[in-house]
Structures are given as structure tokens and as C-alpha cells.
Amino acid sequence: MRLSPAPALDPSLAGSLGLLHLAVVAGGLALLSSASASASGLESVRCKLQGTPRPPAFSQDGDFVIGGVFSIHSYMHTVDHSYTSLPEPLQCTGSLNSRELRFSRAMVFAVDEINNSSDLLPGVTLGYQVHDSCNTVPMAMNVAFHLANGLDPMFDTGEQCSGSPTVTAIVGESASSPTISMLRIIGPFGIPQVSHFSTCACLSDKKQYPTFFRTIPSDQFQAAALAHLIRHFGWTWIGAVRSDSDYGNYGMAAFLQAAQEEGICVEYSEAFSRTNPLSRVQRVADVIRSSTASVVVAFVSYRDMKILLREIDSLPSPPRQWIGTESWVTDPDMLRFGLCAGAIGFGIQRSVIPGLRNFLLDLSPQKVSNSPLLTEFWEGAFGCRLGIGTSSTDIGVEEKVCDGSEDIQQLQTPYTDTSQLRVTNMVYKAVYAIAHAIHSIVCEERENSTVNCDKNLNVKPTQVLERLRRVNFSRNGYQVSFDANGDPVATYELVNWQIQESGKMEFVTVGLYDGSLPPDQRLDIEREITWLKNSTQVPVSVCSESCPPGTRKAVQTGKPVCCYDCIQCAEGQISNKSDSSDCLICPEEYWPNAERDLCILKPVEFLSFHEVLGIILTACSVGGALLAIATAAVFYRHRHSAIVRANNSELSFLLLFSLALCFLCSLTFIGRPSEWSCMLRHTAFGITFVLCISCVLGKTIVVLMAFRATLPASNVMKWFGPPQQRLTVVSFTFVQAMICTLWLVLSPPFPVKNITTYKEKIILECDVGSAIGFWAVLGYIGLLSLLCFVLAFLARKLPDNFNEAKFITFSMLIFCAVWITFIPAYVSSPGKFTVAVEIFAIITSSFGLFFLLFVPKCFIILFRPEKNTKKHLMEKTSNDIRY
């Protein structure tokens, strides 16, 4: 094939024109001068291909040739170079992968189908050159040079050896690393490459790989799908292994980022390759065995995965739930590893390609013998050797010769298995995408709906590249198109490895994942999944158990965020969902329940009439008031008796009345505080007690004045008769009333909810409003009490039996003692007990006055009437002091 001048490239490939002139270096071309060079310059150039050309595995001439590259073998034969002779041609070695052979044959089938089509490229014949890359980068680069330069060992051309590539487009490669190496070589020449199985997310970078397309989704989508799947089943503690290649490294990087966003922690992330020493693979297997994570995500190529599983299976290992990628999770050859039973992963959607199975099985010994690759497959599948006679192996055992009775229809290999056409369909779609791109260039539809194609048109790879970007068609019900990055729409099937009743393990589609849908609708699980140990129970893989409501997560020091302790929420805080990172503070009037997973209203507490303490205080208050009333009745009944008349009956009745009010005013402190009750309780208490103390003070002054009046020439009683006594009581009480009025006007007491004393409940109490007003009321009472105590103390030794000074002294002593101890008790008592202390002080001081001032008199009136005489009252005591 002669090479024409180099074509112009599109703007995205600007700067690459000069690379065509470097084809001598890149493609191994050399210039040999012709023997007849004239003085005017070289008239012709003979171009020679350096090295030995490697023929394609399958080839066919055509008007437009499509290249194909597949990893049919796994290794490349390595040679130690002596550098004294030409290197040997590159050769593949290792076992033949019948699945990859099926991929290559699917490409041949698609080309034949297009050539026989009357709708697509009618009258145009497509050719193909299918090569084996051995799944290695050096061989892939060698193949790339062959596809760009052609296979003619020597040819004459014009003034230079550079020219158009021999192929218009390339299908392949199956692995990402060889694909990248090929793109580095053919990309500058504008040759489009459509891969069926290279999923590395890095290939979506159009700045680096502008000529790359693929019919299989990018690993960017698969990584997000895997993270979504793992989070869906609640696994937050996983292990990860990957192939040490572009596929594994880029794919795992994308997965780890997606996993981090989903809150998934990775216990370990190990990388290995089938070319690593066995010790490296053993170390990875040991890490998996010893890990605490029961779920393992394997972003591994199927070739590497076989080596790893063989190593894990060599020693007893704890069961692991494997999560796989499309590279190995749908490879039929992997089903022989029983330790992966229950594995799940995303695979390409299963499809049907009509006629493919018949094409694959249309092999006879005669056809097979024409292809070294098919011959190797045939001999390996049937265990015989094609050819006449026998040949001995190295150990001296004669090999069986194929006799023609071999039936490929009965053969059970990945090559003949078309029940799971997944990646095969990606090859099929890639060929059709290229064909549609060429069709849009060389064919045009006429008015009579006929299609006319010009097969002689010089189609440049850059033109095919441009048309591939706009390809959009449907084939066998499957849509084919590319986005701006050359990627298709990401759709996967969720595949589960299930053991059937027959004991055979099979791929079962249990769900779908559509990357074009909203995040919460992408994963759709349609069937029950069988997990490891053939269980239907979802396995658990967490570093720490889920924290229940009422607790929060506290990350363990030096460990990932998925390893944590469950700490109970602090007082006043709750968490109402599992695995809360923080607890929520309840509002002021709410408090957590016992489980601390719900905020409930705090109970409101106040001194109630219905509780025991309230009932006791109420009984004491009412009882004291009844005693005061009863005493008043006794005094009224005996109002003409000597003892009643001698004790200033008017002040006595007023004192009994004020005592009854003092007892009853304590009732205003019991019950639910309100605005009116708060104002009433403090003013009633202040005024009634001042009235009571004023009466006592009046009686004390009367006693003093009475004995002063017995002195010669003394007329003091005329200055403190009944009118003055009344005025004294009214004056002292009026002052307290004025203090209370100012208090109520300026800053009255009001009900408040005390939420500081107790965190778990609300104390409903009365705030005094003005502390000055409150203590002024108490201070005034205390001042009167102190004055009364001093006067009574001075009159304690006055003669006669009716002298009340001693009783008033003791009553005032008790009164002052009660209210002095009240102050610290009032300040320190919490909640409703503050009110109880105040009521207790009121009742105690009132009973003190009542018992000391009236009980002795009532005892004489009721039980010692003989002493209720004027004579007895006027008698001197034996130790009286005379003046």
C-alpha cells in the first residue's frame, strides 16, 4: 500500500503535523537512497520497515480497514538481549484467553454483518486487522506502529516515507494501560480508538486523549456505583485491593474518594500485579485473611484476580463478601472459585447478538488450520494436535492427533458461551459506531430513498474522529452515543454469584444501576441476593456497632472515623437517630427522657395543696387560726373576768385577730403562683405580722406604763390610754402598708419559671420583684420585734402575777430566733422548699406568740378559776423587788 501525503488534522490535534515526519523513529522506518540519484535530487525513495513485521491474528482487505487489538494472551515472551544481533520478534506466551478470543471473533462477525448489510455502507467493503497485544504495553505499542505504518516490508514512494495510516479507526484495547500506550502513539496522527473494555477514568481527559472513545462506561461511574452499593447495605468498614495498573490505581482512587463522601472507611488498600513476585501476592492474601473487615472491594483485572484467589484458596481463610468490578465479576472463568460464592458487583448489561453463536461455532478443522490462533485454541480445547502424525512432548508422551470427530457444538468454554454477552456487545457496538461514522462520510441519501456510497473517497482518520463525536444510533435495541468525554451513558447490572440447586454457580442479575437518574433512584434491586455462605442475611462489616439513639459517636484516637465509641448524651441533650455525631440541646422548658432520645416538657413544680407537705402546712395554718378564734371565744365568754380585764382585753382581741390572719396568710403561699397571689402573699404577710407585733408592742408599753403609774406623783397613764394604744397600732401598721404600697407600685412580685435550680424540672415560684422592698418589709417586722423584745426584757422583773413581760420576752425571743434562722434557710432552700420554709417561719412564730401569750391565761380561765381573781393577780411574788 502506497502512502499519500500526510492529511491535515483538526484543531484539537494542532502541533502534531510534525510528528508525521518522525515516523522513521516512531514506526521504525528507515530511508534508503536509490542507486540512480540525479544531480537535481532524489527522484524516488524506497521505504523499508525496520524489524520483522508481526502478522495480524485475523485480517481481511477492504475499502476501509478497521484495526482491532485484544489481549488474547496474558504474557509476552521475554528475551535477554545480547546487543550483538538483531532482537527476536516479539511473541506472546501463556495460556490463550478464550473470552478475549470471542471478543476478537465478535469484531470479525460485526464487520461481516456490515458488509452484508444493505442499509449501512451498501456497496462498501470493510476490512480488518486484528492483533493480539498479549495484555502488555510493549506489544500494544508494537501493534500501534503496525496499524499506523502497515505491514509491507519495503515499498517505493515519492519524496518521503510519511503518509496516511493504514487503518481509519481502531477497536480496542481490552486493558487501560495498553490502551494509554497506544494512544500516545496513534493519537497525534488523529486515528480514533474505540475501546470496548478500557474503563480507566483517566481516559476521559480529552486534553490528553482527544482521539479516544469507548462503549463501556468509565470507572468514574462504576466507582460511584460501588460506593453507593456499599452504603446501601450499611457497610462502613471495608478492605480494598486493586491491580497495580492504570485500571486499578485510577479506579481505586475514584472509589476511595466516592467512599469517603459516603462515610465509608477503608481498613486497608493493597495493590499487586500478576507480574509481581509471589511473595507480594501472598502478603496481600495475608492482609485479607487477618483483617477485621468482612467486605472486600476488588478493583482488579480478571487475570490478576485469578492469581489472588488461587493464593487465598491455598490456605484456610475466613469467609469474605467480595464486591467486584466489571473486569472479573462477570467473567465465566472465575466461577470456579467457590470462595467467592455470594459475590456481587456491577457488570455490563447482558445482551443478545443474533447470529453470533452460529458464527462462533462455524469452525471446522480446515478453517482452524488456516489460523495459528484458532489452531492454538482448538488444540487446547480438545486436547489434540492438528496435523498428520504425532509429535512427542518434552516428557516423552505422544500427543493425540485430532481426527475430525471433535464437536465444537458440545464444547463448554467462555468462547462458546453466549448466554452472558456483556463485553462482547461492547465490541459489537464499537465496530458499528465506526461504521456509522464512515457511512456519514462516504454515503448520502438520494431523493428516491436510496443510499449511494463512494468507496473510492479518501477518508482520513480525522474525519472519522469528527463524525464519531456525533454518532447516535440504535442496534438490537441498544443505544449507542458518546458524550463530550467520549463516554457512553453509565448503565450497569448488579450481578450476584449464586449457587443453584444443581450445585453449579451462576451469574444472576439482581438489580440495575442507571447513572443518568437522580442519586436516590439510580440503584434498583429487583431480586433477593444470596450472600456468603449461601445466606440471605446481609453480612455486617463495621468497625464499631451502630450507636443507638440517646448516644453520640466519639472517634477513637488514631483510628478512622468509622471506629468510635458510643457516648451517652450529656444532661439536657438528646440524639433522636442512630449514629449521631452530636447531641442536640433540648429547649429551655424541655428535658430529655430516660433514654435521652426525646425532649419532653419539664414537669412544673410548686407547693400544692394536694401534696403531703402542702397538706401538713395547710392543716397547721388552719389549726392555728381556729385556735386563735377559739381563744377569742373563750376570752369573750369570760370578758368580765379578772384575768381578761387585767390583760387589756381590747389589745388582746386585736392580737388574737391578727394572729388568726397571720396563720391564714400562709395559705396564700400554697398553690400555683399567679400574679395576684404573688402580690397578696407578701403584702398580707407583712401587714398582718406588723399588726400582730404592734399589738404585742402596745401590751408591752402598757405593762411598763402601768407600773410606772404606781410611783408617787406619776401620771404617765394618761399619756398612754386606750386612744394612744389604738393610735400606736394603727401608726405602726400604716408604715408597713406604705412600704408594701410602694413595693407593689414600683416593682411588684410576679410569678416566674425557675429553670436554673433544677435542670430536669421547672419550679413555678414568685419572684419578689424588688429585693429592697422584700427585705424592707422583713426588716420593719424585725425592727418592731427587736423593740418589743427590748421593752419586754426591761419589764420582765416587774411585780404582780398579771405581769406579761416575761411571756412577751420569751415570745419575742422565739419570734426573733425563728426569723433570724429563716434568712439562711430561705436563701439556701431550693425550689418549692423556699416557700415551705417561709410558711414554716410564719406558722412557728405565730404559734410561739399564741402559746406564750394566751395559753397560760386560757389554762387559768378554764382549769384554775380560783386564780382568776383580782386578789390573786395583785399579790406580790416572794422575790419581788420593791421600789
Position 148 pLDDT exceeds 80: yes
Which of 337, 489, 326 shows the shortest CA–CA distance to 420?
A: 326
Parallel, antiparallel, or unpaired: how do β-strands 237-243 and 295-299 relate? parallel
* Chain-centre distance for alpha carbon 463: 49
Which residues does residue 194 pair with via DSSP β-bridges, in sequence order? 171, 213
What digits encode the pLDDT tens for the residues 88-119?
Answer: 788 888 889 999 999 999 999 999 999 999 99
pLDDT at 800 (0 to 100): 52
Per DSSP, 401 falls in state B
Confidence of residue 395 (pLDDT cuts 50, 70, 90): very low
Position 585 pLDDT exceeds 90: yes
Q: Give me the residue label for grid cell 411598763.
A: 704
Round to the nearest angstrom and report the end-to-end CA distance of the chain.
Answer: 158
**What does the pLDDT average to over 822-848?**
81
Which residues does residue 585 pair with via DSSP β-bridges, in sequence order? 573
3-state secondary structure 134-150: CCCHHHHHHHHHHHHHC
Which of 151, 191, 170, 130 shows the shortest CA–CA distance to 52?
A: 151
Parallel, antiparallel, or unpaired: how do β-strands 126-132 and 58-60 relate? antiparallel
Position 398 pLDDT exceeds 90: no
* Beta strands in 97-236, from DSSP E residues, in sequence order: 126-132, 154-157, 169-171, 193-195, 212-214
pLDDT at 882 (0 to 100): 35
* Chain-centre distance for alpha carbon 665: 61
pLDDT at 625 (0 to 100): 92
Better-predicted residue by pLDDT, 716 or 33: 716
Per DSSP, 54 falls in state -
Distance in angstroms (rounded) separating the CA atoms of residues 836 and 253:
71
Better-predicted residue by pLDDT, 747 or 396: 747
pLDDT at 251 (0 to 100): 94
Better-predicted residue by pLDDT, 390 or 24: 390
Range list of H helices, 326-364: 356-361
pLDDT at 318 (0 to 100): 93
R_g of the chain computed on alpha carbons: 54
Q: Which of the given ranges, 125-129, 577-581, 710-714, has the highest pLDDT on average? A: 125-129
Distance in angstroms (rounded) separating the CA atoms of residues 814 and 560:
70
pLDDT at 84 (0 to 100): 83
What digits encode the pLDDT tens for the residues 593-608?
Answer: 999 999 999 998 888 8
Which of 413, 219, 218, 221 shows the shortest CA–CA distance to 331?
A: 413
Distance in angstroms (rounded) separating the CA atoms of residues 352 and 477:
9
Lowest-pLDDT choice from 151-155, 269-273, 408-412, 806-810? 151-155
pLDDT at 8 (0 to 100): 36
Lowest-pLDDT choice from 284-288, 465-469, 828-832? 828-832
**What does the pLDDT average to over 694-705?**
78
Can you give the length of the chain in residues? 883
* Chain-centre distance for alpha carbon 537: 23
Better-predicted residue by pLDDT, 207 or 835: 207
pLDDT at 37 (0 to 100): 36
Burial 196-229 (b: 16+ CB within 10 A, else e): bbbbbbbbbeeeebbbbbbbbbbbbbbbbbbbbb
pLDDT at 835 (0 to 100): 86
Contact between residue 305 and residue 337 where contact means Cβ atoms under 8 Å apart:
no
Position 717 pLDDT exceeds 60: no
Position 270 pLDDT exceeds 90: yes
pLDDT at 516 (0 to 100): 87
Which of 543, 535, 533, 536 shows the shortest CA–CA distance to 293?
A: 543
- Residue 55 dihedral angles phi and psi, to the nearest 5°: -65, 150
* Grid cell listed for 664: 391564714
Q: Which residues contact 382 (CB under 8 A, 6 or more apart)?
A: 402, 406, 411
pLDDT at 78 (0 to 100): 77
Lowest-pLDDT choice from 46-50, 389-393, 621-625, 721-725? 389-393
Contact between residue 459 and residue 168 where contact means Cβ atoms under 8 Å apart:
yes
Helix (H) or strand (E) holding 322: strand 321-324
Confidence of residue 760 (pLDDT cuts 50, 70, 90): confident
**Amino acid identity, residue 7?**
P
Helix (H) or strand (E) holding 497: strand 491-499
Confidence of residue 164 (pLDDT cuts 50, 70, 90): low
Q: Give me the residue label for grid cell 429547649.
A: 587
Measured between alpha carbons, how far is residue 727 from residues 30, 732, 782, 853 in Å?
Answer: 139, 9, 20, 22
Which residues does residue 442 pair with via DSSP β-bridges, in sequence order? none
Q: Give me the residue label for grid cell 535477554.
A: 80
Position 877 pLDDT exceeds 70: no
Contact between residue 426 and residue 215 where contact means Cβ atoms under 8 Å apart:
yes
Average pLDDT, the chain: 84
* Grid cell listed for 118: 444493505
3-state secondary structure 410-424: HCCCCCCCCCCECHH
Confidence of residue 880 (pLDDT cuts 50, 70, 90): very low
**What does the pLDDT average to over 747-771?**
87
Residue percentage of the chain with pLDDT more than 70: 87
The sign of the CA dihedral 173, 178, 183, 185 is: negative
- Residue 737 dihedral angles phi and psi, to the nearest 5°: -65, -40
- Residue 484 dihedral angles phi and psi, to the nearest 5°: -65, -25
Contact between residue 296 and residue 318 where contact means Cβ atoms under 8 Å apart:
no
Which residues does residue 268 pair with via DSSP β-bridges, in sequence order? 239
- Residue 144 dihedral angles phi and psi, to the nearest 5°: -60, -40
Helix (H) or strand (E) holding 690: helix 675-708
Per DSSP, 509 falls in state E
What digits encode the pLDDT tens for the residues 634-690?
Answer: 888 887 777 777 666 678 888 889 889 999 998 988 889 888 989 898 889 889 988
Distance in angstroms (rounded) separating the CA atoms of residues 857 and 861:
6
Distance in angstroms (rounded) separating the CA atoms of residues 543 and 165:
56
**What does the pLDDT average to over 479-499?**
94
Q: Which residues contact 610 (CB under 8 A, 6 or more apart)?
A: none
Distance in angstroms (rounded) separating the CA atoms of residues 507 and 530:
11
Helix (H) or strand (E) holding 506: strand 505-514
What digits encode the pLDDT tens for the residues 503-553?
Answer: 899 999 999 999 889 988 999 999 999 999 889 999 999 999 989 999 999
If phi > 0 it is left, if psi is from -120 to 50 it is alpha, else beta; for residue 180 that is alpha
pLDDT at 30 (0 to 100): 36
pLDDT at 706 (0 to 100): 63
What is residue 210's three-state secondary structure? coil
